Amino acid sequence: MEAYGGCWLKMKFRNIGQIIFGILTFIPGVYSWRAKKLGSGGSYSSRYCYSVWMRHIVLANNCNLGIRPKIVAELGPGDSLGIGIMSLLLGAEKYYAFDVVPFASSKKNLNIMRELLVMVNNREPIPGDKEFPRIRPKLEDYSFPFDIYSEDYLSKCLTKSRIKNIHDSINLNKKMIEYVAPWNNDLNIKHNFVDMIVSQAVLEHIDDLDNAYEKMKMWLKDDGFISHCVDFKSHGYSDSWDGHWNIPDWLWKLIRGNRPYLINREPYSTHERIINDCGFKMLESINVYLPSSCSKSKLSKRFIYMKKEDRVTSGACIVLVKG
């Protein structure tokens, strides 16, 4: 049996608790109960959603891309559809949201929409690092991006009729919003249909990354773009940010249990490979680096041949177009 990098005695109670909970998830209803109680984190806050959307759009603008997408798709919106609601308030005509668990509710989304509308109407600056130190990408300027959203443009986006249509769509009439949860791979979306595909700390949770990127390539218009921020850290499943790469596969299976998703533990180079295989062109990759906390000898067998750069890459924001 593969050694756990000499870390058995150092394992904290939270790790033991994760193993116990992983086993409990085989009991029907346990995971769904916990998911509804705790949520997925992040998008329950309107200010978080405002900040995330604006950062992705500013990053796209810096890459000289079309930054007023009409058709937007988001992977893993989480506790609310707030990021997509931001896209609609700022001119998008259709928003697709795909998730494995239906965390978001109409009541929650309506509250988020009201708060976002106030922020947009006030032209509030983008919530920055003091409020959200872990959100990527970091920006040089957090003021409202008038170079992207001019007053004339905003006046056309924020008419009473558009606001009513967004409000009614949140109540699930599907006119402007298509929320698919749980999402299965048989879902049909027109080929070359989406202007922008976005995710925030989601791709690290998708097991079949090859298939996910292939789907994105199929959905994306020839002149569309993809913007992902990926978090490669352990998400609290180990004592150190990179300790999940020390955990052997047999133990990781116990921790995961019967959950529909956890983290896939794939490093940055896996995304690089798939992006190249799919024929995408990477316009930007803003990587976040942290010192590695363990020696190569302590890595799990699966990760023993990880690239040196992978072992210090804790996150990345990538912008892609079709090659």
Q: Identify the pLDDT of residue 6.
A: 45
Residue 223's CB: how many other CB atoms inside 10 A?
A: 11
pLDDT at residue 208 above 80?
Answer: yes
Q: Identify the pLDDT of residue 11.
A: 47
Q: Residue holding tokens 């699930």?
A: 172
Q: Identify the pLDDT of residue 2.
A: 43
Q: Starting at the earlier edge strand, list the strands of the sheet with 280-289.
A: 177-180, 94-98, 71-75, 194-200, 220-231, 313-322, 280-289
Angle between helices 82-89 and 160-168 (to 10 degrees): 150
Query: Could you report the per-residue pLDDT of 70-113, keeping only the tens digit for each?
Result: 999 999 999 999 999 999 999 999 999 999 888 888 999 999 99
Integer Cα distance of 214 and 288 in angstroms: 26
Band of the pLDDT at 186, cuts 50, 70, 90?
Answer: low
What is the torsional sign of CA 248, 259, 105, 180? positive
How many Å separate Cα 239 from the centre of its chain? 23
The domain defined by 43-228 folds into Rossmann fold (3.40.50)
Ordered by start, the domain boundaries in the chain are 1-38+232-268+287-323, 43-228
Residue 191 burial by CB count (10 A; 0-12/13-18/19+): exposed, middle or buried? exposed
